[in-house]
Amino acid sequence: MNMLSRFVVVACLALPFTACKKEEAPKTEAVAAVPLPAGGEQKDWIPYLQYKLVPHMGGITNSPFVYFLPKADTEDFGGKYERQLEKLEQDLGRGITEGNMLVFASPEPEKEVEMIETAFKQVGPGTMKGVKVVFIGTPILGERVKAAVEPAGVEYIFEEAK
């Protein structure tokens, strides 16, 4: 009986060590690069935007706010620009809270930057802490966006459009 007791004690002590499975490093699969879309409609840009945004989604608790302008030769481009600007100003006026992401991308990046600069003039300093702002465009335009949005206290992320 004494021998059986020792066996049970040894088995109980050894069980946690033998039951542990060596943890394997998570396998990461390489994501194929998605090229910059040639089309000017938002539907053409969805896979590209997903490719560019997924790495920045950490800490985001809601679906991103995506502001997209089509190509300038699109019918009623002026009206679409005005509606997009109005929507952005309304969203910013209501307040964007921590855990949200604003995304700006367009085949007309110059006009997109104009919209951002105009809308962010109304935002108070430091009022958007914990909010990520992602701009997809050229480095020169990215600097203009950075200057427009950083006073609001956002985490600014630039992604080069390529």
pLDDT digits (tens, 9 = 90+) for 38-78: 888 888 899 999 999 999 999 999 999 999 999 999 899 99
What does the block give as tokens for 69? Answer: 């302008």
CA dihedral 148, 116, 111, 38 (to 10 degrees): 110
Per-residue confidence at 104, pLDDT binned at 50, 70, 90?
very high
pLDDT of residue 149: 97
Query: Cα(65)–Cα(156) distance, rounded to whole angstroms?
Result: 14
Among 6-15, 49-58, 75-84, 124-133, whose mean pLDDT is lowest? 6-15
What does the block give as tokens for 80? Answer: 């679409």
Q: Do 120 and 92 meet the contact criterion of CB atoms below 8 Å apart?
A: yes
pLDDT digits (tens, 9 = 90+) for 23-37: 555 555 556 888 888
pLDDT of residue 30: 58
Question: In the predicted model, is pLDDT for residue 121 greater than 70?
Answer: yes
Query: Cα(152)–Cα(121) distance, rounded to whole angstroms?
Result: 9
| pTM as predicted | 0.78
Per-residue confidence at 15, pLDDT binned at 50, 70, 90?
very low
